Amino acid sequence: MEAILEKLANPGFDLDQVRSDFAYLELPGPIIYLDNAATTQRPNQVIERMDHFYRFENGNPLRGTHRLGTTATEAMLESRKKVARFIGSKSEKEIIFTRNASESLNLIAYAWGLNNLQAGDQILITRMEHHSNFVNWQFVAQKTGAKLAFIELTDDYQLDMQDYRDKISERTKIVAFSAASNVLGTIPDAAAIICIAKEYNALTVVDAAQLVPHTKVNVRELDCDFLVFSGHKMLGPLGIGVLYGKAEILLEMTPFLYGGEMIEYVEDYESTFAQLPYKFEAGTQDVGGMVGLAAAIEYLEAIGLDKIAAYETALTDYCVAKLEELPYIEIYHPQQGAKGPAIAFNVKNAHPHDVATILDYHGVAIRAGHHCTQPLHRYLGQNSTNRASFAFYNTKEEIDLFIEALEDVKKIMQIDI
C-alpha cells in the first residue's frame, strides 16, 4: 500500500492543472465521476479545438475547391495522420473513421466476415466480450453457417489461455477479443493471443476501446489484423471511432456503406470504388469529431501514456484494497496479471440500481447494469453489477468519498453483514 500511496501523491504530472482543464468539476455540488469506461469527460482543449473548426475551418471535406473546403480537407488529413502515428500504423490509409468502435466491429463483420466465412469455419471470441464484439459475430455465424466458439475465463477472471489453445484449430478463421474488459478490467496477453492465431492463419480483431485510452498501443508490434476504438472513451467527442486494418486486407474487402466520395466511377449498372481509406467512408464525414479526437490524442501524449497508466493502476489498486475492507462488497476483478481501471462489484443483498441511485445522492457517478455484457454476467451468476471506472483526472480523495458513500448504502439498505 505504501507504494500505491506514493504514486497517488506523486503521479508524475500536475494533477491540479489537469483537473482545471475539465469544466465538469466546476459544476455545483460534489461530482465524483467514476463512469469513465462508459465515456470520459472532455478537457477544454478538445472542446476549444472543435469550436475553432466549426468557427473558422468549416467546409465539406474532399469536395470543395474553395478555401474552407480545402481547410476542412486538410483538417481531416492531419487528424488521420495523427491517429495513425498514435497507434503505430505504417500508413494513414489503414485508418478508417467510423462513428464508434461498435460500427468499426460491424464493418469488419459485414465487409470481411460475410464474404469470407462459410459453413464449417470457426469464429472464436471470448466470454467477456462487449455485445458489439459478440452479437455481430452471432449474425455472421447465422448467415454463413460458421460456428461460434467461446474462450472461457479462469477463477481469477483471466482469459483461460489453455482453453484458447484447446479450441483454436485449422477451422478457426477469425479470433476476436477485447484487449481490456469493460467490466472486469482484465487485460489479456494480446500479443500471445495474436501469436497463437497466426499459427493457424486466423485473422485477429482487437477491441481496444478500453485499452487505447490508458496505455500505449502499437499495431505493428502487436501485428494484429484489425483494431478498433472510440474517441469518446479517450477524451474525444461522441460519434467518432476508428478502425485500423492492414492495408492488404482492407484492399480485398467490399465497402460496408455506399454513397458520396467512396466511389471511383459510377456507371449505369456497376461502380468502382475509391482507394483506401475512402472506400469505407461514405458520405460527408465528421471532421469536427476528427479534429476533436486529434486534440484528445495531443492531450494524452502531452501528459504521457506511461504516466497515465501508472497513476490509473495505483488508483485502481487503492480502490480494490478499500473495497476489500468492506465485508458486504463482492468484487469481480482479477487479483493477478495486468488490469485496467475498471472494477465490477455488488453490494450484497442490494440491487445495483439502488446502489447507484444512493451513490448519486452523494455525487458519486458509477454504472449499474449488465454493461452490454450479458453472456459475461451469466458467467458471473449475476443479472447486473455495479462498476467504478477511473481516469487520470480522478483522485485518491474521490475514492475515499466513494467508499464513505458505500457505507451510507449499507445503512440505508439495512445490510447487516
Q: In the beta sheet, which residues pair with residue 177?
A: 206
Name the amino acid, one letter, at 56: F
In angstroms, the CA 186 to CA 335 distance is 10
Catalytic residue, candidates 195, 224, 319, 372: 372
In angstroms, the CA 321 to CA 15 distance is 22
Using an 8 Å Cβ cutoff, are 252 and 269 in contact? Answer: no
Is position 372 annotated as part of the catalytic site? yes
- Enter the C-alpha cell of residue 223: 501485428
Q: Which contacts qualify for 273-279: CB closer than 8 Å, 24 or more apart?
A: 275/93, 276/93, 276/94, 276/247, 276/250, 276/251, 277/80, 277/92, 277/93, 277/94, 277/95, 277/96, 277/97, 277/250, 278/62, 279/255
Cα–Cα separations (whole angstroms), residue 409 to 8, 217, 351, 364:
26, 39, 11, 12
Do β-strands 147-151 and 203-207 pair in parallel, antiparallel, or remain unpaired?
unpaired
Q: Please, how many CA atoms are within 13 Å of residue 230, restricted to the half-sphere of its CB? A: 20
Residues with catalytic annotation? 372
